[in-house]
Structure 1
C-alpha cells in the first residue's frame, strides 16, 4: 500500500481533492489530503515557503507514513519538491501535477515576467496575500460552471511570502523518482527546466487532455495516473 499525500495549488486546500480521494481509497491506498498553513480551514496561520515545506514533512513524519507518494499541484510543486528530499527513505515517488518546480535559491515568482513584479504588487496591495482569481481565470480549462463556482467558493487568498521566498534544495531535483503530469489545455507546455529533468532516467512525463485543475475536471483519470506511480 502506498500513502498518497495530496497538496493542491495556490488558494486551495485539502478539499480540492475530494473527488480524487475515493478512487485512491477504493484501490486500497492510504490517502492524506493536506491543507497548507494560511489556507482554507488553516487561514490565519502565518506562513512562509519553508512553513509549507515543514507542513508536508510534519504530515509524513507525524503520521509515520512509509511508501509515500507526494503529489504537488501548481504552486505546491515547489514545497513538495523540497519536502521530497527531506523525508528520506519514506519517499516512494513524487508527482508534479502541472506544477512549478523548485530551483535552489529561486522563488515561485522568479519564473514570471519581470520577476513576478505584478504578483508582488498584488501581494503588497492586499495585505501580504495573493488575492483570489476572478471567474474568467478558469475559462477554457475544461471546467463546468458548477466546478468553477466550487473553486471560487472554496478558495482563500494565498500567503504572499510563500510565493516570494526562495526554495532550498540540497541536491539536484532530477535525482528524485518523479512523474510530471502536463495538462495540455493549461497553456504553454513544460518549460525548459521541466523538459531537461524529464529527459533524466528518474522522470516520466504523462499528458492529460484537460486544463490546469484536473482534480476537478478529470478526477478519475488523475487518480488512475496517480495509482500507476504506486506500482512497483
Structure 2
C-alpha cells in the first residue's frame, strides 16, 4: 500500500484534491492532501519556501508514513522535490504534476523575465502576496465554467516569500525515482530543466490531454496515473 501525500500548487489548499482522494483510497492506498502554510485554512501563517518543505516533511513524519508517493503540482514541485530527498527510505516515488522542479540556489521567480523583477513588484503591490488571478486566466485548460468558478472561489493569495526564496538540494533530482506528468493544453513545452532530468533512467514522462489543473478537469485519469506510479518499483524507475 502506498501513502500518497498530495501537495497542491500556488494559491490552492488540500481541498483541491477532493475529486482524486476517494479514488486513491478506493484502490486501497492512503491519501493525505496537504495545505501548505499561508494558504486556505492556514492563511495568515508566515511562510517561506523552506517552511513549505518543512510542512511536507512534517506531514510524513507526524503520521509515520512509509512507501510515500510525494505529489507536487505546479509551484509545489519545488518544495516537494526538496522534501523528497530529505525523507530518505520513506520515499517510494515522487510525482511532479505539470510542475516546476527545484534547482539548487534558484528561486521559482528565477525563470521569469528580468529574473523575477516584475513578480517582485507585483508582490510588493499586493502586501507580499501573489494575488488570485481572474477566471479568464484558466481558459484553454479543459475546465468547465463550474470548475473554474470552484478554483477561483477556493483560491487564496500565495505568500510571495515562497517564490523568491532559493531552493536547497543536497544531490541531483535525477537520482530520485520520479514521474513527470506533462499536461498538453494549452501547448506549453517542457522546461529545459525537466528535459534534462528526463534523461535519467529513474525518471518517466507521462502526458495528459488536458490543462494545468487536471485534479479538476480529469481527476479520474489523474488518479489512474498516480496509481500506476505507485506500482513502479523505485529501483526500476
TM range (shorter): over 0.9
Are residues 1:88 and 2:88 paired?
A: yes
Please report the TM-score for the alignment, with normalisation by the length of structure 1: 0.99
Deviations 1:122-163 (A, max 9, x none): 101111111111111100000000000000000000000000
Partner of 2:214: 214
Partner of 2:148: 148
Deviations 1:139-197 (A, max 9, x none): 00000000000000000000000000000000011001000000000442211111111
**1:176 and 1:214 mapped to 2: Cα distance?**
24
Partner of 1:176: 176
* Coordinate RMSD, CA, aligned: 0.7
Q: How does 1:55-134 map to 2 (within 5 A)?
A: 55-134=55-134
Runs of 4+ aligned structure 1 residues displaced above 6 Å come to: none
3-state DSSP class of the match of 1:122? helix
Partner of 2:157: 157
**2:55 and 2:228 mapped to 1: Cα distance?**
26
Please report the TM-score for the alignment, with normalisation by the length of structure 2: 0.97
3-state DSSP class of the match of 2:141? coil
Give the stretch that moved more between structures: 107-116 or 49-58: 107-116
**2:129 and 2:17 mapped to 1: Cα distance?**
23
Partner of 2:44: 44
3-state DSSP class of the match of 1:180? strand
Deviations 1:98-143 (A, max 9, x none): 0000000000000111112221111011111111111111000000
3-state DSSP class of the match of 1:19? coil
Instruction: Count residues in correspondence.
Output: 232
